[in-house]
Structure 1
Amino acid sequence: MNTSPVTPESTAAVDAAIVTRRSVRAFLPTPVPREDIEAILAVAARAPSGTNIQPWKVRVLTGATLARFTAALKAVHDDPAQAAAQQEEYAYYPRQWVAPYIDRRRKIGWDLYGLLGIGKADKARMHEQHGRNYLFFDAPVGLIFTIDRILEQGSWLDYGMFLQNIMVAARGRGLDTCPQAAFTPMHRVIAKELAFDEGEMLVCGMALGHADPAAVENTLATDREPVAGFARFLD
Structure 2
Amino acid sequence: MNSPDVIAALHARRSVRGFLGTSVSRQTVEAILADAARSPSASNMQPWRVYACGGDVRNRLSAELIALHLAGGDDHREEYVYYPPLWRDLYLARRRKVGKALYGLLGIAKGDATGMARQYARNYDFFGAPVGLFFTIERDQGQAAWLDLGMFLYGVMMASIGHGLATCPQQAFARYHRLIRARLDIPESEVVVCGMSLGHPDPGEPANRLTTEREPVGEFARFLGL
TM-score, normalised relative to structure 1? 0.93
Looking at structure 2, the residues matched to 170 and 26 of structure 1 have their Cα atoms a distance apart, in angstroms, of: 16
**Residue 23 of structure 1 aligns with which residue?**
15
Residue 100 of structure 1 aligns to a residue whose secondary structure is helix
Q: Tell me how far apart the structure 1 counterparts of residues 57 and 205 of structure 2 sit (CA, whole Å).
A: 26
Structure 1: state its 5+ residue gaps: 1-5
Aligned to 1:228, which of 207, 218, 222?
218
Report the more deviating stretch, 123-132 or 155-164: 123-132
Runs of 4+ in 1 over 4 A off after TM superposition: none
User: Which segment drifts farther, 49-58 or 189-198?
Assistant: 189-198
Whether contact under 8 Å (1:17, 1:169) holds in the other structure is: no
- Matched with 2:86 is 96
Task: Report the Cα distance in structure 1 between the residues aligned to 2:58 and 2:43, rounded to whole angstroms.
Answer: 34
> What is residue 3 of structure 1 aligned with on the other side?
none
**Is the partner of 2:89 in helix, strand or coil?**
coil
Give the one of 155, 158, 173 matched to 2:148: 158
In structure 2, the residue matched to 1:130 is 120
Give distance in 2, aligned partners of 1:114 and 1:74: 24
Aligned partner (choices 53, 59, 62) of residue 61 of structure 1 = 53
SS at match of 1:144: strand
Say if 1:55 and 1:148, in contact at 8 Å, map to a contact too: yes
C-alpha separation in 2, matches of 1:192 and 1:59: 12
d(CA) in 2 for partners of 1:32, 1:198: 29
Per-residue CA deviation, residues 112-166 of structure 1 (Å, 9 max, x unaligned), is 1111111222111111100000111010110011110000111100100000001
Q: Once the 2 structures are TM-superposed, how far is the Cα of residue 31 of structure 1 from its aligned partner?
A: 0.9
Distance in 1 (alpha carbons) for counterparts of 2:98 and 2:183: 32
Match of 1:35 among 6, 27, 47: 27
Paired position in structure 2 for 1:11: 3
The structural deviation recorded for 1:99 is 2.3
Other structure's SS at 1:84 match? coil
Between Structure 1 and Structure 2, how many residues are aligned? 225
> Cα offset for 1:90?
0.6
SS in 2 for 1:205: strand
CA deviation map 1:42-72 (0-9, x unaligned): 0101111111111111111111110011011
Q: Over residues 60-97 of structure 1, what are the superposed CA-to-partner deviations in whole Å (9 max), with x where a residue is unaligned?
A: 111111001101101101113xx122111111111111
Secondary structure of the structure 2 residue equivalent to 1:222: coil
**Residue 209 in 1 paired to residue 199 in 2?**
yes
**Partner letter of residue 67 of structure 1?**
N
Q: 8 Å contact 1:146–1:204 — kept in the other structure?
A: yes
Partner of 1:170 in structure 2? Answer: 160
1:178-230 per-residue CA deviation (whole Å, 9 max, x = no partner) reads 00011111111211222221311101000011110011110000000111111
Q: Tell me, yes or no, if structure 1 residue 73 matches structure 2 residue 84.
A: no
The 2-side partners of 1:115 and 1:87 are apart by: 30
The TM-score, its normalising length taken from structure 2, stands at 0.97
1:50 equivalent in alignment to 2:32: no
In the alignment, the residues of structure 1 paired with residue 64 and residue 80 of structure 2 have an alpha-carbon distance, to the nearest angstrom, of 22
Pick from 110, 117, 135: which aligns with 1:120? Answer: 110
- Report the identity percentage: 52
Quick one: which amino acid aligns to residue 13 of structure 1? D
Work out the CA distance in 1 between the residues paired with 2:12 and 2:188: 38
Pairing 1:182–2:168 present: no
